[in-house]
Structure 1
Amino acid sequence: MTGVVAAVGAAAAAPAVAAGTVPVPVPLEGVENALNLPAPKISGQVPLPTPGSPEGPRYVEGRLIPEGALPQLPLSGGLPGADLHAPLPHVLGDGFEHIGVDAPATGLRTLTPGLSLDAPLGPPNPHHLGLPDTKLPQAAVLTPLLRTTPAANVEAGSGS
């Protein structure tokens, strides 16, 4: 019996893994049976981050150290999602109404911070017997990037 349950669970999770999220159900059937009241239905989605390939260093004329000495690493993933449907007692009669919040997992693209450096020496100068000119050292931190479009839907209505 346990093997059948594990196989069914793995088959149900396979499409979610392909989509980049793992479903996380919250089992509240025991509370519902113990209290003899409808319990809220809660589930969530946890995204799986996927690292990308960084851009390699770029050589720029006039610089001794390539641009992007510490490259930015792209990561793709998502924001976690949640789905909550809770029954509310109907004030005017029998039955239940419900309130629901649906915030699906959304895509997230990021770039980690990077570093760009330049040495305090310039290119060789023919006027100084081929010796390089000196200049101020340069260091720049490449800012991280975050792109996403979160969404949520709140609903209330009749039924459970």
Structure 2
Amino acid sequence: MKPTTRGTLAAVLTGVAAAVGAAAAAEAVPVPVPLNGVENALNVQMPKIAGELPVPMPGAPEGPRYVEGRLIPEHALPQLPVTGGQPGADVRTPLPHILGDGFDHLDVGAPAADLRTLTPGLSLDTPLTSPSADNFGYPKLPQAAVLTPLLKTTPGANLEMGSGA
């Protein structure tokens, strides 16, 4: 392989590695929708569309908690926290003066909103106790509980009409 080819290949690989590293460090990855070719081919104004895709980041689960009187820890299968975001979008389209002379575009923006979740978990308790008089001499019944998932977010959007393309 020639030295120039090796140098070019090394530069390309370095650029790709930097782009992948930057995308992994970002909270959201921008996703543009290229419509310039359609606009040039049909000679019409096309909407400008862009989006954001969030990168989910898992957190550290809370460990099991030992409770007095229980053989198995309280959270046998712990809940895993995941933070990320909802996808965002930005759409700007030209209007053909249907709302009057002052309105030339419609802009809808829905930015990526923070999203926090907890996966489902499981809590178990075994019936290893002494016989109980309340339960006709039988030990207590085994207990199992499914910890419900949690979802927290605050989505928002903005609708704007104005002059200018």
Unaligned runs of 5+ in 1: 126-132
Question: Aligned residue for 1:63?
Answer: 70
TM-score normalised by structure 1 residue count? 0.81
Greater Cα offset, 14-23 or 53-62: 14-23
**Aligned-CA RMSD value:** 3.1
User: CA–CA distance in 1 between the matches of 2:43 and 2:13?
Assistant: 29
Question: Aligned residue for 1:116?
Answer: 123
- Given that 1:89 and 1:95 are in contact with CA atoms closer than 8 Å, whether structure 2 keeps it comes out as no
User: CA–CA distance in 1 between the matches of 2:23 and 2:160?
Assistant: 25
User: CA–CA distance in 1 between the matches of 2:81 and 2:42?
Assistant: 49
Query: What is the CA-CA distance between 1:37 and the residue it aligns to?
Result: 1.4
Query: What is the CA-CA distance between 1:90 and the residue it aligns to?
Result: 2.0
Residue 89 of structure 1 aligns to a residue whose secondary structure is coil
Question: Aligned residue for 2:97?
Answer: 90
Question: Aligned residue for 1:154?
Answer: 159
**Greater per-residue strand proportion:** 1
- Given that 1:13 and 1:23 are in contact with CA atoms closer than 8 Å, whether structure 2 keeps it comes out as no
Candidates 44, 51, 55, aligned match of 1:48: 55
Q: 1:93 to 1:4 in 2, by over 3 A?
A: farther
User: CA–CA distance in 2 between the matches of 1:10 and 1:82?
Assistant: 27
User: CA–CA distance in 1 between the matches of 2:128 and 2:15?
Assistant: 65
Structure 1 segment 131-150 matched on structure 2, within 5 A: 134-150=139-155
User: CA–CA distance in 2 between the matches of 1:9 and 1:39?
Assistant: 31
CA deviations on 1:82-137 (whole Å, 9 max, x unpaired) are 00000011249999710010000111000000000000112xx6xxxxxxx82111
Q: Aligned pair count?
A: 149
Q: 1:80 to 1:29 in 2, by over 3 A?
A: same
User: Percent identity of the aligned residues?
Assistant: 69
User: CA–CA distance in 2 between the matches of 1:36 and 1:121?
Assistant: 78
Q: 1:6 to 1:152 in 2, by over 3 A?
A: farther
Residue 95 of structure 2 aligns to a residue whose secondary structure is strand
**1:143 alignment partner AA:** T
Ranges of 4+ aligned residues in structure 1 off by more than 4 Å: 3-17, 91-96
User: CA–CA distance in 2 between the matches of 1:96 and 1:8?
Assistant: 43
